[in-house]
């Protein structure tokens, strides 16, 4: 998805098929993840803004889902949004991030999840860099694992 209207269409009509599926019980996820990563990814939690050093990390690499290690974001799409969460302008592929309408907490937003394991990642908004399609993927650092390249 490269533009907001595409994100909204997919959130309302259905996401592309994922490249694979990973399914585990809550007990299995809890054994694999830190308590904070479990809370964020498996119970749709949100970490405190500015609570992770990952916000300031701009070294080359790939950001993987902390649960299933699916490559989600490339560091080349990462930018400083000033929001307190790692922000990206695009997912690595159209079928690795799923989009869902989210009207919780009296707001209208689009939730992002890992399409492979359904981990809650964060939300996507239409206020990202214009030259990159205008999307801002606001992602919880607790949902990501950084893999360095080079």
- Residue 97: give the domain boundaries: 4-148
pTM score of the predicted model = 0.93
pLDDT over threshold 70, residue 150: no
Number of domain units in the chain: 1
pLDDT in tens, 30-82: 999 999 999 999 999 999 999 999 988 899 999 999 999 999 999 999 999 99
* Rounded percentage of the chain residues whose pLDDT exceeds 70: 97
Give which of 17, 19, 39, 15 is closest to 29, Cα–Cα: 39
Please indicate whether residue 114 is annotated as part of the active site: no
| Distance of alpha carbon 79 from alpha carbon 22, whole angstroms | 29
DSSP-H helix ranges across 65-137: none
Helix, strand, coil share of the chain (percent; to 5)? 25, 25, 45
Band the pLDDT of 141: cuts 50, 70, 90: very high
H runs (alpha helix) in 34-147: 35-42
Q: Write down the catalytic residue from 55, 67, 68, 138.
A: 138
State the CATH number of the domain containing residue 21: 2.170.150.20
């Amino acid at each position: 998805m490269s533009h907001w209207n595409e994100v909204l269409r997919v959130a309302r009509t259905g996401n592309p098929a994922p490249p694979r599926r990973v399914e585990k019980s809550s007990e299995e996820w809890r054994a694999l993840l830190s308590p904070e990563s479990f809370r964020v990814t498996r119970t749709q939690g949100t970490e405190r803004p500015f609570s992770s050093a990952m916000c300031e990390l701009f070294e080359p690499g790939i950001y993987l889902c902390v649960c299933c290690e699916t490559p989600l974001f490339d560091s080349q799409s990462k930018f400083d949004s000033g929001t307190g969460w790692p922000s990206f302008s695009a997912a690595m592929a159209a079928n690795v991030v799923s989009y869902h309408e989210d009207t919780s907490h009296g707001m209208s937003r689009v939730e992002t999840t890992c399409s492979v394991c359904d981990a809650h990642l964060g939300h996507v908004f239409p206020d990202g860099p214009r030259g990159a399609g205008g999307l801002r993927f606001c992602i919880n650092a607790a949902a990501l694992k950084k893999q360095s390249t080079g």
